């Protein structure tokens, strides 16, 4: 695709060689004359002037002193994502079911949906249009899956789960397993039956080997647009809002509420019934105590999690104390 055609498609101005052919998207370090790369951040700006990319997606304040071929956009990374989808389209799998698929009674499969080998579909399953269900996936009775959802190989979806449209579930996900609920009776733990359900909103993405437990009673909910990284655990009766981001190896205990647009770093632990309010940020490795409320817009770090300024101040104090002790 020509540079000027890409610019027109992005509805963005361009400079340089408009007739240069661009066939792929690559990093600044690896891009060649046939590739487009994007510039975001200080280091990238410095590298841009010496990179070998045929075209650069640059922000509006980029000083093109070296006369590079550029397309000027508001958000280079977001524009690059659009170009990737254009130049590197996903493989369209054929409609239909592999002969090895096991299908229960009263199952509905939408038009354009691909069901790969060794998939098991329970009774009453509803799968929308233009979905992909990867090999070895097990979908329990009464599960509903919205249109254009992609389920990668070897995902397990337990009975009664609802999955929205345009959702991505990566390999090894377990959705709807029993929550960790036990009652200590006469010195032994007995299971508290987990009879609730899981509801996953539209445009949610859940990373590989992540688990979302069903509610004991009621619903475990993940809101529209939320993104979970690999190896994230969502406990029973958690309610995750819209457009939340949770990084890898984070675990939420039962009954945790995370409100819209919160950001949770990797390896964070959150205790029972804690509440993370809208647009709060929890830094990597933080620990949130049971029933703690993290106020909206706050940035917290450490264990127990505390405001970032306070956390950094304590680190500085400890550093000064250590230096003083070494000097004695």
Concerning whether 236 is annotated as a catalytic residue, the answer is: yes
Helix axes 76-87, 3-10, angle to 10 degrees: 120
Question: Which residues, 6 or more positions from 37, have their beta carbon under 8 angstroms from its beta carbon?
Answer: 25, 26, 27, 28, 31, 51, 53, 55, 56, 57, 80
Residues 6+ positions from 255 with CB-CB distance below 8 Å:
235, 236, 237, 238, 272, 273
Give the Cα separation of 311 and 301 in Å (integer): 6
* DSSP structure class, residue 101: -
Q: Which among 243, 177, 244 is positioned nearest to 212, based on CA atoms?
A: 177
Structure-token match 């709060």, residue found: 280
**Residues 246, 160: Cα–Cα separation, whole Å:** 25
Residue 13 to residue 322: CA distance in whole angstroms: 56
Q: Are 133 and 115 in contact (CB under 8 A)?
A: yes
Q: Which residue among 114, 152, 170, 236 is the active-site one? A: 236
Residues with Cβ within 8 Å of residue 304, at least 6 apart in sequence: 287, 288, 289, 292
**188/321 Cα distance (integer angstroms):** 47
Distance of CA 208 to the CA centre of its chain: 10
Residues marked as catalytic? 236
């Amino acid at each position: 695709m020509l540079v000027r055609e890409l610019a027109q498609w992005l509805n963005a101005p361009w400079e340089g060689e408009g007739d240069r052919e661009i066939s792929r998207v690559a990093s600044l370090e690896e891009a060649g004359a046939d590739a487009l790369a994007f510039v975001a951040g200080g280091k990238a700006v410095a590298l841009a002037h010496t990179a070998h990319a045929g075209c650069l997606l640059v922000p509006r304040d980029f000083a093109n002193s070296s006369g590079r071929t550029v397309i000027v956009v508001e958000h280079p990374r977001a524009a690059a994502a659009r170009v990737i989808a254009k130049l590197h389209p996903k493989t369209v799998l054929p409609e239909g079911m592999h002969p090895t698929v096991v299908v229960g009674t009263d199952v509905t499969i939408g038009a354009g949906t691909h069901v790969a080998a060794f998939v098991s579909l329970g009774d009453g399953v509803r799968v929308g249009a233009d979905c992909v269900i990867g090999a070895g996936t097990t979908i329990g009775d009464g599960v509903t899956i919205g249109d254009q959802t992609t389920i990668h190989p070897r995902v397990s979806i337990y009975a009664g789960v609802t999955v929205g449209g345009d959702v991505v579930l990566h390999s090894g996900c377990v959705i709807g397993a029993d929550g960790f609920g036990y009652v200590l009776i006469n010195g032994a733990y007995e299971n508290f039956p987990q009879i609730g359900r899981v509801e996953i909103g539209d445009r949610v993405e859940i990373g590989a080997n992540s688990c979302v437990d069903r509610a004991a009673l009621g619903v475990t909910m993940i809101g529209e647009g939320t993104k979970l990284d690999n190896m994230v655990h969502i406990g029973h009766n958690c309610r995750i809002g819209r457009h939340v981001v949770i990084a890898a190896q984070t675990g939420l205990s039962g009954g945790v509420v995370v409100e819209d647009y919160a950001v949770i770093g990797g390896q964070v632990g959150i205790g029972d019934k804690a509440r993370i309010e809208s647009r709060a940020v929890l830094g990597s490795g933080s620990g949130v105590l049971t029933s703690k409320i993290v106020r909206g817009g706050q940035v917290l770090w450490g264990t127990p999690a505390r405001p970032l300024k306070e956390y950094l101040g304590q680190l500085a104090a400890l550093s000064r104390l250590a230096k003083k002790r070494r000097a004695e």
